[in-house]
């Protein structure tokens, strides 16, 4: 593959992750959502009906129904997000784009390939933001090998403000204010190729930065 690949022509890869599989496996998120809804529903029903039987029996029913609804919405969000995210490789470097931000990393800015925590910080997010970020974190559980380097990060139009704020807290950036950030950033190639070290991405990295990925 490496011998016939044209490294002078840009290549764009689409996201390859399976949203259905990630949501099915996100048991921590499911339990957290269901428990929270059940807890709130119990007190709401107790206050509105003044009937403890309705509260005890109704709260779990409400929790199951609303959790299923929320998970369907999260699955739809992840399907769209995974399908629309792209990674472009060109002679000038890599550009990662999704509904949250654009990450532009020149080949000269690539520092290393390393295991990296990809979880989005949940502190300070709204309940909805936590559920969304939790789903993304579950989706990234197996995507820890990253391309680490200096990059320019630009917030995407209409990006979820809560996620931009979480990124700001983690990196010291001001993305939520619409400002670019230049500094150390990460690109997770397995979001685009399962066996990326032996695939298209690996070939490009070896071609332009053989010192980083022999």
- Mark which of 27, 59, 84 sits at the end of a domain: 84
| Whether the predicted model's global pTM rises above the 0.75 cut | no
Same domain, 130 and 79: no
Number of structural domains the chain divides into:
2
Instruction: State the pLDDT at residue 200.
Output: 96
Name the domain boundary from 35, 63, 84. Answer: 84
Q: Do residue 102 and residue 172 come from a single domain?
A: yes
The answer to whether residues 66 and 12 belong to one domain is no
- Tokens at 40, concatenated: 């709130």
Q: Verify that 135 and 49 share a domain, yes or no.
A: no
pLDDT above 80 (res 173)? yes
Q: Are residues 70 and 5 in the same domain?
A: no
**Do 195 and 119 share a domain, yes or no?**
yes
Same domain, yes or no, for 92 and 158? yes
For residue 1, what pLDDT band results from cuts at 50, 70 and 90?
very low
The domain of 72 spans 17-84
Say yes or no: 80 and 94 in one domain: no
Per-residue pLDDT of 120-167, as tens digits, reads 555 555 555 555 555 555 545 445 789 999 999 999 999 988 888 888
d(CA 115, CA 147): 9
- Same-domain check for residues 103 and 197: yes
The DSSP annotation for the chain comes to: -TTT--TTS-EEEE----HHHHHHH-HHHHHHHHHHHHHHHHHHHHHHH--HHHHHHHHHHHHHHHHHHHHHHHHHHHHHHHHH-EEEEETTEEEEE-SSEEEEEEGGGEEEEEE---PPP-TT--HHHHHHHHHHHHHTTT--EEEEEEEEEEEPTT--HHHHHHHHHHH---GGGT--EEEEEEE-GGGT-TTGGGSHHHHHHHHH-TTT--
- On whether both 92 and 159 belong to a single domain, the answer is yes
Q: Which of 84, 113, 138 is the last residue of a domain?
A: 84
**Same-domain status, 99 and 41:** no
Residues 5, 44 within the same domain: no
Scored b (16 or more CB within 10 A) or e, 103-118 reads: bbbebebbeebeeeeb
């Amino acid at each position: 593959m490496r011998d016939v690949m044209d490294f002078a022509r840009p290549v764009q890869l689409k996201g390859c992750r399976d949203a259905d599989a990630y949501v099915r496996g996100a048991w921590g998120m499911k339990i957290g959502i269901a428990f929270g809804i059940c807890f709130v529903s119990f007190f709401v029903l107790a206050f509105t009906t003044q009937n403890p039987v309705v509260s005890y029996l109704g709260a779990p029913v409400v929790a199951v129904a609303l959790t299923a609804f929320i998970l369907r919405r999260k699955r739809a969000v992840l399907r769209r997000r995974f399908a629309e995210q792209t990674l472009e490789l060109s002679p000038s470097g890599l550009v990662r784009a999704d509904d949250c931000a654009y990450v532009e990393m020149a080949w000269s800015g690539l520092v290393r390939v390393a295991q990296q925590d990809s979880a989005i910080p949940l502190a300070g997010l709204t309940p909805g933001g936590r559920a969304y970020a939790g789903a993304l974190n579950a989706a990234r559980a197996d995507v820890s090998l990253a391309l680490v380097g200096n990059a320019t990060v630009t917030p995407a139009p209409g990006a979820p403000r809560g996620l931009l704020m979480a990124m700001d807290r983690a990196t010291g950036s001001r993305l939520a204010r619409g400002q670019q950030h230049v500094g150390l950033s990460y690109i997770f190639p397995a979001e685009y190729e399962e066996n990326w070290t032996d695939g298209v991405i690996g070939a490009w990295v070896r071609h332009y930065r053989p010192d980083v990925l022999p």
